[in-house]
Amino acid sequence: MSSRIKAPNSGWWRGGVIYQIYPRSFQDGNGDGIGDLPGITARLAHVAELGADAIWLSPFFKSPMKDFGYDVSDYHDVDPIFGTLADFKALLKRAHELGLKVIIDKVLSHTSDQHRWFQESCADRANPKADWYVWADARQDGTPPNNWLSVFGGSAWQWDTRRCQYFLHNFLASQPDLNFHTPAVQDALLDMMRFWLELGVDGFRLDAINFCFHDAQLRDNPGGGQPDGSDPTAPASNPYSWQLHQYDKSRPEALDFLRRVRALTDEYPDTTTVGEIGDRNGAAMVAQYTDGGDKLHMAYCFDLLSSEHSARYLHDVLDKFERVAGSGWPSWALSNHDSVRLATRWGGSQPPAALLRLAPALQLSLRGTSCIYQGEELGLPESEVAYEDMQDPYGIAMWPEFKGRDGCRTPMAWDSKAADLGFGSGEQPAWLPLDDAHRPYAVDRQQAQSGSLLHYYRKLLHWRRGQPALLHGEMDLWPVHDQVLAYVRRQGNERVLCAFNLSDRPATLPLPTGTAVPRLLGESGVTGARVSAGALVFDPWGALFARLD
């Protein structure tokens, strides 16, 4: 199809629900102890029944697995531990039969050091790919060219003895950063994305997309002082959070590349892109990266992936985004493969059942697209992974103050009676251990309980599909309140009030003067609140949806 022709787009992603699958941990299809593509295919009916519109697959491409697939050595092929390209085509076919779109995770900012591009680039300073990665000479004293830090700890520069230069790596030293100032790099990545679009994928999740460009002058980042833990991109125990990352990421040149990405996807019907943005100014950058209809379709930041979840904090996040959003479109996630599971992060060691029901109701009523991480529909708590069992290089480097991401990546709980929780690997998987604490949350057990969280998720998602104001409407925040977050979603004459008591105490929210008496929408399954004498009255962690006439 010519790049001058813009294909039709149904906008299915706008207000849709995406279900994230971490392939290593979803389902083992061949019994080798690692989840794979055939295993995912066998479980797709679970996602379709849940009511999701699409799946997002974390990377399944060839990789040495130093960062478990986020270090790609071949963008065009499937790693053998996950299966084959034929297995992926079978997954794609089955997903489409079930009405599910398929979004694949593309890591564009960096590759593995085993990628053939890097192997050629580091051979010498004169080869055809010499400038495909970010190389720089040492300072006069042999130290790195500037003060940039790696997210995973230490300097962001690694010495290479072949070129006698440093190369940039924002993450592991085995994940060298591509040089987006070289046009051929952009061209090669766009050609690779076209390969997958021609296979029939419905879009891309773009990992760490704001890391693609760096300051060409390699200027030092300014210091930010002692961290207070407010940086959502790194814990306070990580020195990365001491810097203001003005020059090593989030550069303005990225916008022109995103326009090229959008022009490519616009050639293919009904495709979409969602970008991950790791930055202190995440909400503003989501707006910037998605505004205007010529860059990303949607993006997400880390503001709702922190432990903070008070009504005031969430009101501030939403207000900040709405003030700068323009035509931009957010994707809201409360959990993913990089964050502590919501049940533990928001609920502690004994998360209240009402909180676990409030959270998806809140998420699914925000203006934007919702992304649900595997197992959230079960209320899985964070797993405790012993140091000797840890796999995550980030957690190993930052232990014990930061335990990394293994706790949210343990195998999915399908069958409470099976020794391997139905994962398919026998007694123990080959990478992260099973969590017996997840046994009571398994799909089979919740399937048999009509009042389970799993059934609640299904009811909520299917009900929401019939609420145009929640899918596509504008959002008007009510004034900030110490306990209750409230807003109205509106489209045309339809107005839906969404209100949530984000505390473990009863709460009362007076209705603004002139507000019509709300009519509760009980068919949503949301409970714990009522209308009484000109006010909304909430139980602890209570929530409501109501029609405003």
**334 near 302, Cβ under 8 Å?**
no
**415 near 444, Cβ under 8 Å?**
yes
In angstroms and rounded to an integer, the radius of gyration of the C-alpha atoms of the chain is: 23
Say which residue the tokens 């209100």 belong to: 499
The H or E element spanning position 186 is helix 183-199
207 has catalytic annotation = yes
Phi, psi values for residue 337, rounded to 5° = -70, -5
* Residue 27: strand, helix, or coil: coil
Q: What is the pLDDT along the chain (549 residues), one digit of tens a residue?
A: 445 689 999 999 999 999 999 999 999 999 999 999 999 999 999 999 999 999 999 999 999 999 999 999 999 999 999 999 999 999 999 999 999 999 999 999 999 999 999 999 999 999 999 999 999 999 999 999 999 999 999 999 999 999 999 999 999 999 999 999 999 999 999 999 999 999 999 999 999 999 999 999 999 999 998 888 778 889 999 999 999 999 999 999 999 999 999 999 999 999 999 999 999 999 999 999 999 999 999 999 999 999 999 999 999 999 999 999 999 999 999 999 999 999 999 999 999 999 999 999 999 999 999 999 999 999 999 999 999 999 999 999 999 999 999 999 999 999 999 999 999 998 788 899 999 999 999 999 999 999 999 999 999 999 999 999 999 999 999 999 999 999 999 999 999 999 999 999 999 999 998 888 899 999 999 999 999 989 999 999 999 999 998
Q: Looking at the chain, how many residues does it have?
A: 549
List the chain domain ranges. Answer: 17-109+183-214+249-464, 474-547
231 has catalytic annotation = no
Residue-level pLDDT at 329: 97
The H or E element spanning position 105 is strand 101-107
pLDDT in tens, 298-309: 999 999 999 999
Residue-level pLDDT at 4: 65
* Omega cis (within 30) before 128: no
Q: What secondary structure does DSSP assign to 198-209, as a single string? A: HHT--EEEEETG
Residue 202's CB is within 10 A of a number of other CB atoms, namely 24
**Residues 6 or more apart whose Cβ sits within 8 Å of residue 350:** none
**332 near 304, Cβ under 8 Å?**
yes
In CATH, the number for domain 17-109+183-214+249-464 is 3.20.20.80
Helices (H), 266-408: 282-290, 311-324, 342-347, 353-365, 393-398
The answer to whether the predicted template modeling score (pTM) of the entire model surpasses 0.95 is yes
Nearest Cα residue to 210 out of 264, 279, 152: 279
Query: Two tokens at 122?
Result: 């580091």
- Which strands sit side by side in the sheet containing 135-136, from one edge to the other? 135-136, 165-168, 157-160
- Which strands sit side by side in the sheet containing 474-477, from one edge to the other? 474-477, 484-491, 494-501, 543-547, 519-520
Residue 511's CB is within 10 A of a number of other CB atoms, namely 18
Q: What secondary structure does DSSP assign to 463-496, as a single string? A: HHTT-HHHHH-EEEEPPP-SSEEEEEEEETTEEE
Query: Two tokens at 48?
Result: 């379709």
pLDDT in tens, 91-108: 999 999 999 999 999 999
C-alpha distance from residue 131 to each of 175, 191, 211, 261, 474 (Å): 16, 19, 17, 21, 46
CA 201 from centroid of its chain's CA atoms: 18
Q: At what angle do helices 183-199 and 85-97 cross, to 10 degrees?
A: 60
Residue-level pLDDT at 426: 84
- Does the fold of domain 474-547 match that of domain 17-109+183-214+249-464? no
CA angle 247, 250, 255 (to 5 degrees): 125
Q: What secondary structure does DSSP assign to 406-471, as a single string? A: GGG-SPP---TTSTTTTSSSTTS-SSSPP-GGGGGG-HHHHHT-TTSHHHHHHHHHHHHTT-HHHH
Question: Is domain 474-547 classified as CATH 2.30.110.10?
Answer: no
C-alpha 263/C-alpha 179 separation (Å) is: 21
Residue-level pLDDT at 484: 98
pLDDT in tens, 193-215: 999 999 999 999 999 999 999 99
Annotated catalytic residue within 32, 77, 120, 267: 267
Question: Which DSSP category does 168 fall into?
Answer: E
Annotated catalytic residue within 207, 276, 382, 435: 207
* Residue 219: strand, helix, or coil: coil
Query: Two tokens at 540?
Result: 């602890």
Q: At what angle do helices 37-50 and 85-97 cross, to 10 degrees?
A: 10
Residue-level pLDDT at 1: 43
Report, in this order, helix, strand and coil percent for the chain, each rounded to 5: 30, 20, 50
